[in-house]
């Protein structure tokens, strides 16, 4: 046996030197309760250093500890790690119980109650300390003989009687709890919850406040907010003649406040209930947190054993933080910091209620958050028909293409067998705020038969009711219970506080009036990316678009474009009106033209009919437009250079809309963005055309207006040559979807197939389409920003790829001095909050290091 060093511990008094890092959160919290004059039973705190020494084999003078608890000590031992989320060994109650103490309890409270306490201790000691099999007590029948039988069983198993000496009992309990913390599975478990390798355990030894007695006696827990909604509400349970958390487990437990469903503590003793309410209010104001209080009543005497932070959903977390700040208990900045930005997405969409049952039949990538219940449909026309009947539906496709957009608009959720986080379905669904699961590769999809077979063999057909959980990536059979979105006053108030501190702009990617309205609702500071091609997929426009594509001559093309012009103009008028003077950045046409052509023979036949051309002509033209690598082919600015009429039409529509809006007295300065640039000359050519169109519109209308022309940096070369490109660009916006694709040489539509393996094997730390690759793509952003600003000091810099709404990308862009980030409307609130967190973290750092902000 090693020689004992003097092991440290202290009584929990108002002035004891107790810190969360040395003694753990529970010891510190108990000290705070003591300072609030709450009736906390006598407590001794063992710091982590002492617990480590005990685990290493040193022995503590437990007799000296027990001396703090009077002549006949009866105590509990509870874990106290630095962070409550790290768990720890289970509490052991009634340490010190032996024949003598049992006899005294029999006399005071009767044999039944005394037996129950002793039996409970024997069982928990046998399983937690002596490590005996918990089943060994299964055969013991409840009744007056149960205790003796349990003591006999213990002796039989251990070859020694149950220990009588309280000091020995306490020593063994402390040793087993200290060692349990050091065990491999406990370590792995807490590290999974974010605990550092060196995380240590403190322990608290507390006088037992018995929940049994002749007068009013029992135990319970109480909290003053609803854990799911965060609204003020007393919740918890109370159970007469009980200990620990029994009240939460037993059905006979009673309510706390008066309740028509049964008896309550408030009925039983309004006075004690009043004391609890008073203690709850004291905790809230002085501990600056909503706490759950564990209490015991012994013969009408209330004790507070413990208080823990109320477990809460994201929506409750926000509500509580805002209410604490509104009551002046914490500052608005602290309220902002208390809400995790990623938790906001849970508030923006309906959610699958976490408390309900989940019958999961498929799992994929969680591509767009929120939950939806609907009937399965396997095609976009079926989705539209379902919506027309007023029946919510979930659209299932192998992967989606631009022609599915109308179907997606009609669905309440989208499920695809293929794809990753930046595939078409994922991007569009996030923009629409639709829950979406992509890459559910365990499913077998038979579109023709309208049939879906799950990995477990279950078959789902068109019309079957399912629930899509885009937050977890799961698909559930049947209709799960749902929670409504929580975009209430508290939500708006918190984001208002966030805006007051953040120092980087947040815009939205919005293509349609509905997106723009959503962006305004979430208080985006403008549109950072309007993808104009989506405007051409409406049925009437698609026909004209196809005529334009099939035009043999420049004049025919011009005629088709002339028909598209008023429609485009109207699109921009609507966007400008909705955005009411906020900046709107419009990206000129980007995708390869063949995306607008039908892919089936049937579709080609219909097209031939509509264009009044032979099917063979139409097929030949479609084949001629096909490319081996369309994403690297005739798209973006390349179309603008080869077929300048398309961009000219779009520019004319933008300028005429600008004039129309100006005439209504609400001037806008449109921003026009050229996609997929890789060379300065491309910008020069397009700029020359657009300047000419602007001049023509000014002359024709007699109205002066300004506009900004900028470049979307989506190719590595554009980033490297940003210095010369910036000569012709008022702004650079980094399109990190394509830039990631091109930097890695990784198809954004196919990467989902192997991304999991790549991430699991540590090839990539994260999916780079999801989390910005700061090392590689980030370096290109840095180079592009630096070289661009070197040429033009007032160059506006932004990011508009899907990464725009991620807190990590916002941190990066902020460090690079970007002016704004742009993301899907539904990510705008998250981005506003994340940006505020970053600004507040800088303030703390500045204070720490004495730098001026």
Residue closer to ligand PEP (CB basis): 658 or 736: 736
**Residue 823 known to be catalytic:** no
Cα 450 to Cα 828: distance, rounded to the nearest angstrom: 37
Cα 61 to Cα 4: distance, rounded to the nearest angstrom: 9
508 binds, among ligand PEP, Mg ion, none (CB under 5 to 8 A by kind): none
Single residue of 172, 294, 714, 773 touching ligand PEP by CB under 6 A: 714
Residues that contact ligand PEP, how many (by CB under 6 A): 10
Identify which of 384, 388, 434 has the alpha carbon closest to the alpha carbon of residue 414: 434
Residue 735 interacting with Mg ion (CB under 5 A): yes
Q: Pairing state of beta strands 465-469 and 459-461?
A: unpaired
Residues in region 579-618 near ligand PEP by CB under 6 A: 590
3-state helix, strand, coil in the chain (%, to 5): 50, 15, 35
Residue 798 interacting with ligand PEP (CB under 6 A): no
Q: Can you tell me whether residue 355 is helix, strand or coil?
A: coil
Active-site annotation holder among 29, 800, 813, 823: 800
Q: Does 241 carry a binding-site annotation?
A: no
Residues in region 699-728 near Mg ion by CB under 5 A: 714
Residues in region 16-55 near ligand PEP by CB under 6 A: none
Q: Which residues of 265-294 are buried (b: 16+ CB within 10 A; e: fewer)?
A: bbebbeebbebbbebbeebbeebebbbbbb
289 binds, among Mg ion, ligand PEP, none (CB under 5 to 8 A by kind): none
Single residue of 801, 805, 807, 825 touching ligand PEP by CB under 6 A: 801
Smallest separation, CB 432 to Mg ion (Å): 18
Cα 409 to Cα 72: distance, rounded to the nearest angstrom: 72
Single residue of 120, 284, 450, 531 touching ligand PEP by CB under 6 A: 531
Smallest separation, CB 590 to ligand PEP (Å): 6
How far from chain centre, in Å, is Cα 795?
34
Residue closer to Mg ion (CB basis): 587 or 787: 587
Q: Does 4 carry a binding-site annotation?
A: no
Residue closer to ligand PEP (CB basis): 173 or 821: 821
Residue 800 interacting with ligand PEP (CB under 6 A): yes
531 binds, among Mg ion, ligand PEP, none (CB under 5 to 8 A by kind): ligand PEP
Please list, in sequence order, all residues whose beta carbon lies within 8 angstroms of the beta carbon of residue 140, skipping any fewer than 6 positions away: 146, 149, 150, 153
Active-site annotation holder among 109, 424, 803, 837: 424
Q: Between 672 and 711, how does the x/- string for binding to ligand PEP read (CB under 6 A)?
A: ----------------------------------------
Q: Does 714 carry a binding-site annotation?
A: yes
Q: Which DSSP letter does residue 472 get?
A: T
Q: Does 736 carry a binding-site annotation?
A: yes
Residues in region 142-181 near Mg ion by CB under 5 A: none
Q: Length of the chain, please?
A: 853
Residue 649 Cα distances to 429, 510, 560, 567, 652, angstroms: 29, 20, 10, 11, 5
Residue closer to ligand PEP (CB basis): 480 or 683: 683
State which residue has the least CB distance to Mg ion: 738
- Dihedral class, residue 299 (left if φ above 0, else alpha if ψ from -120 to 50, else beta): left
Smallest separation, CB 739 to ligand PEP (Å): 6
Positive/negative CA dihedral, 606, 423, 717, 835? positive
Residue closer to Mg ion (CB basis): 50 or 733: 733
Smallest separation, CB 529 to ligand PEP (Å): 6
Smallest separation, CB 801 to ligand PEP (Å): 3
Smallest separation, CB 646 to Mg ion (Å): 17
Give all strands (DSSP E) within 442-540, no chain letters: 444-446, 451-453, 459-461, 465-469, 474-477, 482-483, 505-509, 527-531
Residues in region 726-755 near ligand PEP by CB under 6 A: 735-738
Smallest separation, CB 409 to ligand PEP (Å): 18
Residue closer to ligand PEP (CB basis): 412 or 739: 739
Give all strands (DSSP E) within 519-593, no chain letters: 527-531, 584-587
Please list, in sequence order, all residues whose beta carbon lies within 8 angstroms of the beta carbon of residue 196, skipping any fewer than 6 positions away: none
> Which alpha helices (H) appear in 735-827, and where do they start and end?
736-744, 752-760, 777-791, 807-815
Q: Does 701 carry a binding-site annotation?
A: no
Residue 738 interacting with Mg ion (CB under 5 A): yes
Smallest separation, CB 735 to Mg ion (Å): 4
Q: Does 587 carry a binding-site annotation?
A: yes
How far from chain centre, in Å, is Cα 22?
32
Cα 681 to Cα 685: distance, rounded to the nearest angstrom: 6
Residue closer to Mg ion (CB basis): 91 or 733: 733
Residues that contact Mg ion, how many (by CB under 5 A): 3
* Cβ pair 72, 11 in contact under 8 A: no
Residue 802 interacting with Mg ion (CB under 5 A): no
Angle formed by the axes of helices 146-158 and 111-124, to 10°?
20
**Residue 530 known to be catalytic:** no
Q: Supply the residues annotated as catalytic.
A: 424, 800
Q: Which positions make up the binding site?
A: 531, 587, 714, 735-738
User: Could you list the residues that contact Mg ion (CB under 5 A)?
Assistant: 714, 735, 738
Residue numbers belonging to the annotated binding site for substrate: 531, 587, 714, 735-738
Q: Which residues are annotated as a binding site for Mg(2+)?
A: 714, 738
Task: Give residues in contact with ligand PEP (CB under 6 A).
Answer: 529, 531, 590, 714, 735-738, 800-801
């Amino acid at each position: 046996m090693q020689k004992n060093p003097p092991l440290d511990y202290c009584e929990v008094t108002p002035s004891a030197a107790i810190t969360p890092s040395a003694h753990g959160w529970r010891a510190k919290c108990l000290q705070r309760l003591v300072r609030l004059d709450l009736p906390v039973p006598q407590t001794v705190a063992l710091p982590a250093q002492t617990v480590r020494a005990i685990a290493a084999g040193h022995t503590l003078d437990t007799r000296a500890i027990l001396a703090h608890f009077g002549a006949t000590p009866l105590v509990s031992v509870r874990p106290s790690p630095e962070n409550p989320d790290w768990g720890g060994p289970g509490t052991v109650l009634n340490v010190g119980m032996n024949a003598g103490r049992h006899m005294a309890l029999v006399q005071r409270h009767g044999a039944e109650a005394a037996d129950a306490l002793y039996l409970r201790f024997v069982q928990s000691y046998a399983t937690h300390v002596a490590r005996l099999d918990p089943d060994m007590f299964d055969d013991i029948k409840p009744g007056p003989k149960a205790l003796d039988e349990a003591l006999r069983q213990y002796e039989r198993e251990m070859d020694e009687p149950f220990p009588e000496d309280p000091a020995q009992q306490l020593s063994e309990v402390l040793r087993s709890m200290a060692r349990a913390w050091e065990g491999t599975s406990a370590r792995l478990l807490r590290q999974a919850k974010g605990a550092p390798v060196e995380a240590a355990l403190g322990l608290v030894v507390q006088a037992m406040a018995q929940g049994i007695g002749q007068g009013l006696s029992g135990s319970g827990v109480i909290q003053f907010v609803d854990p799911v909604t965060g609204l003020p509400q007393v919740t918890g349970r109370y159970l007469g003649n009980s200990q620990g958390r029994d009240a939460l487990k037993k059905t006979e437990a009673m309510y706390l406040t008066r309740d028509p469903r049964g008896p309550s503590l408030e009925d039983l003793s309004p006075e004690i209930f009043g004391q609890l309410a008073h203690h709850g209010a004291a905790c809230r104001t002085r501990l600056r947190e909503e706490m759950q209080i564990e209490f015991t009543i012994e013969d009408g005497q209330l004790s507070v054993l413990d208080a823990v932070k109320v477990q809460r959903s994201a929506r409750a977390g926000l509500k509580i933080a805002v209410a604490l700040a509104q009551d002046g208990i914490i500052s608005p900045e602290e309220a902002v910091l208390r809400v995790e930005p990623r938790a906001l997405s849970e508030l923006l969409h309906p959610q699958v209620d976490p408390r309900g049952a989940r019958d999961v039949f498929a799992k994929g990538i969680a591509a767009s958050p929120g939950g939806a219940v609907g009937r399965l449909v396997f095609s976009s026309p079926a989705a539209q028909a379902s919506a027309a009947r007023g029946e919510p539906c979930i659209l299932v496709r192998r992967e989606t293409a631009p022609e599915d957009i109308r179907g997606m608009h009609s669905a309440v959720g989208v499920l695809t067998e293929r794809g990753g986080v930046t595939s078409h379905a994922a991007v569009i669904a996030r923009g629409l705020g639709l829950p979406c699961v992509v890459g559910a590769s365990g499913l077998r999809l038979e579109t023709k038969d309208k049939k879906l077979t799950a990995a477990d063999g279950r078959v789902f057909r068109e019309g079957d009711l399912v629930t899509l959980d885009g937050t977890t990536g799961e698909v559930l059979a049947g209709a799960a219970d749902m929670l409504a979105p929580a975009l209430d006053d508290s939500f708006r108030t918190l984001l208002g506080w966030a805006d007051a501190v953040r120092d980087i702009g947040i815009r939205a990617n919005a293509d349609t009036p509905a997106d723009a309205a959503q962006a305004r609702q979430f208080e985006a500071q403008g549109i950072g990316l309007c993808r104009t091609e989506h405007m051409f997929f409406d049925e009437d426009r698609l026909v004209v678009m196809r005529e334009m594509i099939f035009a043999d001559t420049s004049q025919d093309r011009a005629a088709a474009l002339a028909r598209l012009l008023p429609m485009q103009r109207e699109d921009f008028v609507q966007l400008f009106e909705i955005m009411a003077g906020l900046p709107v950045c419009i990206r000129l046409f980007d995708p390869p033209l063949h995306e607008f052509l039908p892919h089936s023979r049937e579709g080609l036949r219909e097209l031939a009919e509509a264009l009044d051309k032979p099917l063979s002509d139409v097929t030949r033209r479609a084949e001629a437009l096909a490319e081996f690598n369309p994403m690297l082919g005739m798209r973006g600015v390349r179309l603008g250079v080869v077929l300048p009429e398309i961009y000219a039409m779009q520019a004319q529509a933008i300028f005429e809309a600008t004039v129309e809006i100006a005439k209504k007295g609400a001037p806008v300065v449109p921003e026009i963005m050229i996609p997929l640039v890789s060379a300065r000359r491309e910008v020069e050519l397009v700029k020359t055309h657009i300047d000419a169109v602007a001049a023509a519109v000014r002359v024709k209308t007699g109205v002066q207006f300004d506009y900004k022309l900028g470049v979307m940096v989506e190719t590595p070369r554009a980033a490297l040559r940003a210095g010369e490109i910036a000569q012709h660009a008022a702004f650079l916006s980094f399109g990190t979807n394509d830039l990631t694709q091109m930097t890695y040489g990784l198809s954004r539509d196919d990467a989902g197939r192997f991304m999991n393996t790549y991430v699991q094997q540590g090839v990539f730390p994260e999916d780079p389409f999801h989390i910005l690759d700061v090392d590689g793509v980030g370096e290109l952003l840095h180079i592009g920003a630096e070289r661009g600003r070197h040429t033009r000091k007032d160059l506006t810099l932004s990011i508009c790829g899907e990464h725009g709404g991620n807190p990590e990308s916002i941190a990066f862009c902020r460090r690079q001095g970007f002016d704004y980030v742009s993301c899907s409307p539904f990510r705008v609130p998250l981005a506003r909050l994340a940006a505020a967190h970053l600004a507040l973290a800088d303030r703390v750092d500045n204070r720490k290091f004495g730098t001026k902000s």
